Structure 1
Amino acid sequence: MMLKEFKDFIMRPGLIDIGVGLVMAAALGAVITALVDNVLMPIVGLIFGEPSFDSVLAFNTAADGTGGIRIGSFITALITFLMIGAAVFFFIIKPYKAVMAKVEGPAEEAAPEPDPEDVVLLREIRDALNRS
């Protein structure tokens, strides 16, 4: 009984799609991380003089520069996250929406909803009064 339920759970079609999506997301994350580390951060290095923000410290209390909060690592991770988000949006979401719009065709206008019964009844009363 328990094995059958487990088999039914594993064999759901949506679960396979989710698994494929996770594998693709991990691969895309590696590609974007390589892009950030090898393309974007060297440009940052040309602008700011250092190839990454990893050495930036906040509230540095030690004289030798080892103390403090490593805010630079967070900034680098944030840039990577934003680049992954932009890549997903511009290379997956936007093309998907464009393809779906072409497949579905132009949106048809919805038929107007019929008037409620009370409005119809009031119109009939008005029309009857106008006739008399």
Structure 2
Amino acid sequence: MNISDVAERTGLPVKTIRYYEDIDLISPGRGANGYRQFSQTDLHKLAFLGRARSLGFGIEACRSLLRLYNDQTRASADVKALAQEHLAEIDQKIAELGQMRDTLSHLIAACAGNDRPDCPILADLASDG
């Protein structure tokens, strides 16, 4: 399969596929003409990476997940630990977003939104913290 076929079948952009090759997440073969030739295994790895990335796993976590996936002697505890670490990061981001939302909501409520120049939103942004 060529890169366009793989992109269509995995839903990944061609640029992303090339990037994954550049950082050694995948290594497709090359035809006599020098073009990439993707195998079913490459297709499966790319689909795996696409799904992992859609769940928010970073590149290094994806590298670890692929390594674990390919290791038939892996302990599922290792996979679970990696996923739990990622879930904790997501929970932290959600908490931070909640705090941001609360602060912004408070500032919006405090702003009269009229023709006067004074604005608590701008005053807060200009404050030292």
After TM superposition, the score normalised by the length of structure 2 is 0.30
More helix as a share of residues: 1
After TM superposition, the score normalised by the length of structure 1 is 0.29
